[in-house]
Amino acid sequence: MIAARDLTKVFRTEEVETTALDRIRLTVDDGEFVAVMGPSGCGKSTLLNILGLLDTPTGGEYMFHGDDVSSCPERKRSRLRRGSIGFVFQSFNLIDDLTVAENVELPLVYQRVTADERKRKVSELLEKFSLQPRRNHFPQQLSGGQQQRVAVARAVVTEPKLILADEPTGNLDSAHGEEVMKLLMDLNEAGTSIVMVTHSPACAAHAHRVVNLFDGRIVTEQRGRISHV
Amino acid sequence: MFRAHLKIALRCMQRRKIVSVINIVGLSIGIASCVLMLLWIRFETGYDKFHEKLENIYLIGTHHQYGTTGTWSDQSPPALGPAMVREYPEVVDFTRITNYGSRIIKYGEAEFAERLFCADPGFFRIFSFRFVEGDPGTALTDRYSIVMTESMARKYFGDEPALGKTVRVNYEWDLTVSGVVADIPANSTLRFQLLLPFDLVGSLPGWENYLLTWYNCSFNTYVQLREDADIEALGQEIAGRIERSDPETNLRPFLFPFADLNLHSVSGEGGFITVLIMFAIIALVILAIACINFMNLATARSGERAREVGIRKALGASRRELIAQFYFESLLQAFLALMVAFVLVEQFLPRFEELLPWIDVGLDFSDPVLIVGALLVTLVAGIAAGSYPALLLSSFRPGVVLKGMTATGGRGAVFRRALVVLQFGATVVLLICASIVYKQFEFMETKPVGYDRENLAYMPMDDELKAGFDAFKQALLRSPDIIAVAKGSRSLAGIYTNGHNWDWQGRDPNVNPLVSYLGVGIDYQDVMRLEVVEGRFFSKRDAGGDGSDVVVNETFARLIGGGSVLGKTIHHDDHDDPDVTDYTIVGVVKDFHYKPLHAPIGPLLIEFDNERSNNFVFIRFADGARGRAVAHVEKIYREFRPDRLFELTWVADEYENLYRFVEIRGDVLQYYAIIAICLSCLGLYGLASYMTEQRSKEIGIRKVLGASVVSVVSLLTRDFVRWVVVANAIAWPVAYSLIRGYLEGFSYRADPGIIPYVLVSLLSILLATLAVSVQAVRAALSDPAQTIRYE
């Protein structure tokens, strides 16, 4: 699915140069669930942004579905993101001015899916995620767990092959956190690849493989799913 | 997509009410200013469009050369028009038009003073006034006919047909109504209520010869030319024609397109169009100020929307889609502002028409030009206001903004400052110009003009009153409220009777000044309170003289030169009185203004008791006795002329009217300047709110570390005030050069000095500080624990 070779990201300001990622090699196969762990500032989120085509690497090669996308223009990256990648963020990142249903619908709008089709898909998904009664609520009116459920629903509405989750349970209490992990596991079982950044060993334990980052480098990789929820 | 954009835009506005209100109110004021301007421009450019032959109608103007100086006039000699039709085949028709002044019209009991105009029969063939009654082809052919407008006909005859009815004019002519025209639109150069045949006036004693002259320029002459006429060649031909009839002529005639008459001056310089362009630019400046507010607020809170941009990009939105979304939002607000603007325009129109009393405009939504114009203004405003935010916000990189790694609100800070400088700069220029134009008006209104125009009034004299003048004067003087009474030729608010070719010993042959003439009777000096600087004024002992003794003003005395001019003789061949050609100067009066202050004081010749000096009677009233004294004058007048209309004109009112246009310009400018400063401060207030909010954590930390309220307020306001000061520094020279150009149009002008500049600058800085510090004080007083914890 994705293959990164010698992926490097350097942030430069006038006086300081910070290497966020240092020659990262990482592949994620179709249907694989990879957890990325490491202390704050080790480059986890930077890696996720590059994998998600939200940011470009300063060096190295990044193959997405067999295409080299390391330096492709924003227009192409946005086209690839659309439909291929779903995002789940720690802080949910729902749009405050849109209702639950509209937030879930948004990726379909950018994919130019017809209104009827959008309506059908959104309803289906809200039903599945038990959000139907909340469909006309605004994000501020929901609990953290509910907000993240909406975010996950939005990430999967286009049926992407890859979901990138940046500490999806970081802002949730344990019960809600587990609820969200269960959703991700189900999606993975249905064939969606997942790359998840997390601080929580409990969450990481659900992954097929755990990659440990330190100072921008991969220091260890553990294989094998450790436990099931 | 449209619905989705609309929904989010409306919710966005609802959530950020203050910003939305600032944006929409600001834009609507900007758009309303432009719509009002559009209505005004439409009115002014629509002048005379109803004349079918508009493109073929020309006014004959003349250029007068006096020695080394020259003047432009829209009038031409009376003999020229008839000669042109006779002698040049390309001239189809002609008409002369003259203002015959105010005369009494009487029909049954109805009796009013009305302003009369006279024209040749060609008038209704050349110009397309719509006839409600009568025939345009023959309306002015009979000497004793009169044409009136519909509202005049209604005033005298009610609902009865006017055609064929006879009115008495000036208590001497019975004129039959030969035509009624529909009321003339406000934007017509030629506006009359009552029109007499030129032939009638031309048959008066003295006029017949006058109409044959090739030099007296006191009529407007219009000609209708054939489509294929060569204007330039014809101009040269008629110049030659005048020269053939008057080899000594100093006139050079020219053909001026009637269609250009409203907006352009016959001299080719300036004209009303410059005023219109100036106000159009100001309206656009107001709109620009509102757009700047929009841009500044949008970019200042870009941090707030950066996350949304990041999410949308992560979900697959392309940059183009985001640009479209932000443009949509700005255009939506602009269109909402347009709706509000229409309401504002509707509300303000009566005041606007009061400010510009000659215009007649309305919001006509079926007028495509207005609608397209308003939409265009709105579109431009929406795009101008939305461009920078759309381009800035859509450029955010999702990876960066979603992590909140940069304080994105700080982006564009330089650009924002530049816009604040621009906005305040323009505002300060407007304020300075408005205050100086007003100062000039005040200067002209209060400037001592060399005579006492307060408590001074005059009325016209007819032949009976002229004959019984001495008795009338004595009767008036019986009242202690009346100080002095005298005859005179014209009100000193404007003397336009003049002539050249004066000669005196030692005259420089290159000097041939245009000398203005004033005719006066006994006691004139006391009535006007003129100051004699040398010699004497006229008195009883001049009565019965041959009229060769004259008084001149200082300017004329200086021209004649060489110390005292008393006893000197000046010579004039073709002056009105053919028996007298040599005049002796017996006195010199201190210069006084007998023309508006736009023009310099020229040489003036004051003559005693000639035909002209019988035109009017001037009355000087005692202070504070106005009401009682007027009643007395009317009572006496009724004794002398029981069947005549009593009308009294106050010189001070007349004087004020001279400067109406300066006042109007100042008023309109003031409105615009006030709008500009309000909008600018409103924008600054909004900007300061955001900036303060962004720095709330910094403020909290500073307070924890011991910063006082004053130091926090000064921290927050300093930056803004600094930029307003920079704006002032830039505005001063701009305002100076603009206002200097304006003041050069006046021969007598106020010296504005530096005070208006300083006051405006202080005011702008004070208001800006207030706008900013409202927020700053609130932030400085807030509980630091709150802000720190929240962050």
pLDDT band at residue B697 under the 50/70/90 scheme = confident
Q: Is there a contact between B312 and A106 if contact means CB atoms under 8 Å apart?
A: yes
Write down the pLDDT at residue B737. Answer: 93
DSSP letters, B170-212, are TTTEEEEEEEEEPPPPTT-SS--SEEEEHHHHHTSTTHHHHTT
Q: Is B532 helix (H, G, I), strand (E, B) or coil?
A: strand
Q: Is there a contact between B313 and A54 if contact means CB atoms under 8 Å apart?
A: yes
Q: Which of B127, B399, B666, B50 is nearest to A47 (CA)?
A: B399
Distance from CA of A97 to the nearest CA of B (A): 6
Query: Which residues of chain A lie closer than 8 angstroms to B317, CB-CB?
Result: 78, 110
CA R_g for chain A:
17
Q: Is there a contact between B316 and A107 if contact means CB atoms under 8 Å apart?
A: yes
Instruction: Tell me, yes or no, if B8 comes closer than 8 A to chain A by beta carbon.
Output: yes
Q: Of the candidates A55, A93, A109, which has its C-beta nearest B311's C-beta?
A: A93
Q: Is there a contact between B399 and A74 if contact means CB atoms under 8 Å apart?
A: no
pLDDT band at residue B35 under the 50/70/90 scheme = very high
Query: Which residues of chain A lie closer than 8 angstroms to B310, CB-CB?
Result: 54, 93
CA R_g for chain B:
34
Query: What is the interface size between A and B, counted as CB pairs within 8 Å?
Result: 78
Q: Is there a contact between A93 and B403 if contact means CB atoms under 8 Å apart?
A: no
Instruction: Tell me, yes or no, if A83 comes closer than 8 A to chain B by beta carbon.
Output: yes
Are B545 and B474 in contact, with CB atoms under 8 Å apart? no
Which tens digit of pLDDT belongs to each residue from B490-507?
Answer: 888 888 788 878 889 888
Instruction: Tell me, yes or no, if B310 comes closer than 8 A to chain A by beta carbon.
Output: yes
Q: Is there a contact between A78 and B403 if contact means CB atoms under 8 Å apart?
A: no
Distance from CA of B10 to the nearest CA of A (A): 9
Mutate to test the interface with A, among B315, B395, B396 (most CBs of A within 10 A): B315
Write down the pLDDT at residue A228. Answer: 43
Q: Is there a contact between A106 and B307 if contact means CB atoms under 8 Å apart?
A: no
Task: Locate B467 and state its tokens.
Answer: 């004959």
Query: Which residues of chain B lie closer than 8 angstroms to A49, CB-CB?
Result: 398-399, 402-403
pLDDT band at residue A101 under the 50/70/90 scheme = very high
pLDDT average, residue stretch B639-656: 84
Report residue B774: phi and psi, to 5°: -55, -50
Instruction: Compare all CA atoms of chain B with the CA of A99 and give the residue at the minimum distance.
Output: B8
In this predicted structure, the answer to whether residue B588 has a pLDDT above a threshold of 50 is yes
In this predicted structure, the answer to whether residue A225 has a pLDDT above a threshold of 70 is no
In this predicted structure, the answer to whether residue B790 has a pLDDT above a threshold of 50 is no
Write down the pLDDT at residue A20. Answer: 87
Query: Which residues of chain A lie closer than 8 angstroms to B1, CB-CB?
Result: 109
Are B513 and B502 in contact, with CB atoms under 8 Å apart? yes
The CA–CA distances, whole Å, from B429 to B36, B133, B365, B423, B459 equal 21, 54, 34, 10, 45
Instruction: Tell me, yes or no, if B314 comes closer than 8 A to chain A by beta carbon.
Output: yes
Q: Is B419 helix (H, G, I), strand (E, B) or coil?
A: helix
Q: Is B230 helix (H, G, I), strand (E, B) or coil?
A: coil
Instruction: Tell me, yes or no, if B17 comes closer than 8 A to chain A by beta carbon.
Output: no
Which tens digit of pLDDT belongs to each residue from B64-102?
Answer: 887 677 788 899 999 999 999 999 999 999 999 998 888
Query: Which residues of chain A lie closer than 8 angstroms to B402, CB-CB?
Result: 49, 54, 89, 93
Map tokens 């220091």 to a residue: A219
pLDDT average, residue stretch B575-592: 80
How would you class A16 by CB atoms within 10 Å of its CB: exposed for 0-12, middle for 13-18, buried for 19 or more?
exposed
Instruction: Compare all CA atoms of chain B with the CA of A89 and give the residue at the minimum distance.
Output: B402
Q: Is there a contact between B312 and A95 if contact means CB atoms under 8 Å apart?
A: yes
Query: Which residues of chain B lie closer than 8 angstroms to A110, CB-CB?
Result: 312, 315-318, 321
Instruction: Tell me, yes or no, if A58 comes closer than 8 A to chain B by beta carbon.
Output: no
Instruction: Compare all CA atoms of chain A with the CA of B404 and give the residue at the minimum distance.
Output: A91
Q: Is there a contact between A102 and B15 if contact means CB atoms under 8 Å apart?
A: no
Q: Is there a contact between B315 and A102 if contact means CB atoms under 8 Å apart?
A: no
CA distance B337 to B343: 10
Instruction: Tell me, yes or no, if B2 comes closer than 8 A to chain A by beta carbon.
Output: no
Instruction: Tell me, yes or no, if A97 comes closer than 8 A to chain B by beta carbon.
Output: yes
Distance from CA of A37 to the nearest CA of B (A): 17
Query: Which residues of chain B lie closer than 8 angstroms to A87, CB-CB?
Result: 314-315
Q: Is there a contact between A96 and B316 if contact means CB atoms under 8 Å apart?
A: no
In this predicted structure, the answer to whether residue B406 has a pLDDT above a threshold of 60 is no
Q: Of the candidates B7, B307, B314, which has its C-beta nearest A54's C-beta?
A: B314
Query: Which residues of chain A lie closer than 8 angstroms to B321, CB-CB?
Result: 110
Mean pLDDT value across chain B: 88
Which tens digit of pLDDT belongs to each residue from A123-139?
Answer: 999 998 889 999 999 99
In this predicted structure, the answer to whether residue B410 has a pLDDT above a threshold of 60 is no
Instruction: Tell me, yes or no, if B398 comes closer than 8 A to chain A by beta carbon.
Output: yes
Instruction: Tell me, yes or no, if A116 comes closer than 8 A to chain B by beta carbon.
Output: no
pLDDT band at residue B786 under the 50/70/90 scheme = low
Cβ atoms within 10 Å, residue B628: 13
Which tens digit of pLDDT belongs to each residue from B505-520?
Answer: 888 888 888 899 999 9
pLDDT average, residue stretch B676-693: 86
Are B770 and B686 in contact, with CB atoms under 8 Å apart? no
> B728 versus B103: which is more confidently predicted?
B728
Instruction: Tell me, yes or no, if A49 comes closer than 8 A to chain B by beta carbon.
Output: yes
Which tens digit of pLDDT belongs to each residue from B108-150?
Answer: 888 888 989 999 999 999 999 999 999 998 899 999 999 999 9
Report residue A3: phi and psi, to 5°: -140, 120
pLDDT band at residue A224 under the 50/70/90 scheme = low
CA distance B571 to B515: 12
ipTM of the prediction: 0.79
CA distance B441 to B432: 14
In this predicted structure, the answer to whether residue B59 has a pLDDT above a threshold of 90 is yes
The verdict on pTM exceeding 0.90 is no
CA B776 to the chain's CA centroid: 44
Q: Is there a contact between A87 and B315 if contact means CB atoms under 8 Å apart?
A: yes
Which tens digit of pLDDT belongs to each residue from B428-481?
Answer: 999 999 999 888 888 888 888 899 989 999 998 888 888 899 999 999 999 899
Q: Is A70 helix (H, G, I), strand (E, B) or coil?
A: coil
Mutate to test the interface with B, among A56, A80, A87, A97 (most CBs of B within 10 A): A97
Are B119 and B198 in contact, with CB atoms under 8 Å apart? yes
CA distance B547 to B575: 12
pLDDT band at residue B674 under the 50/70/90 scheme = very high
Q: At how many degrees (to 10) do helices A74-84 and B319-355 cross?
A: 110
Among B residues 493-532, those touching chain A with beta carbons less than 8 Å apart: none
Distance from CA of B333 to the nearest CA of A (A): 17
In this predicted structure, the answer to whether residue B399 has a pLDDT above a threshold of 80 is no
pLDDT average, residue stretch B316-334: 89
Instruction: Compare all CA atoms of chain A with the CA of B398 and give the residue at the minimum distance.
Output: A54
Q: Is there a contact between B315 and A75 if contact means CB atoms under 8 Å apart?
A: no
Pairing of strands B604-608, B515-520: parallel
Q: Of the candidates A50, A96, A111, which has its C-beta nearest B316's C-beta?
A: A111
Q: Is there a contact between B315 and A110 if contact means CB atoms under 8 Å apart?
A: yes
Which tens digit of pLDDT belongs to each residue from B145-172?
Answer: 999 999 999 999 999 999 999 999 988 8
Instruction: Compare all CA atoms of chain A with the CA of B317 and give the residue at the minimum distance.
Output: A110
pLDDT average, residue stretch A168-196: 88
pLDDT band at residue B787 under the 50/70/90 scheme = low
Write down the pLDDT at residue B578. Answer: 60
Type and span of the H or E element at B400: helix B398-402
In this predicted structure, the answer to whether residue B554 has a pLDDT above a threshold of 90 is yes
CA distance B694 to B687: 11
Which tens digit of pLDDT belongs to each residue from B193-214?
Answer: 999 999 998 888 878 888 888 8
Which tens digit of pLDDT belongs to each residue from B241-261?
Answer: 999 988 888 889 999 999 999
Distance from CA of B11 to the nearest CA of A (A): 6
Instruction: Compare all CA atoms of chain B with the CA of A50 and give the residue at the minimum distance.
Output: B399
Instruction: Tell me, yes or no, if B318 comes closer than 8 A to chain A by beta carbon.
Output: yes
Instruction: Compare all CA atoms of chain A with the CA of B11 and give the residue at the minimum distance.
Output: A97
Q: Is there a contact between A54 and B315 if contact means CB atoms under 8 Å apart?
A: no
Type and span of the H or E element at B101: strand B91-107
Mean pLDDT value across chain A: 87
pLDDT band at residue B328 under the 50/70/90 scheme = very high
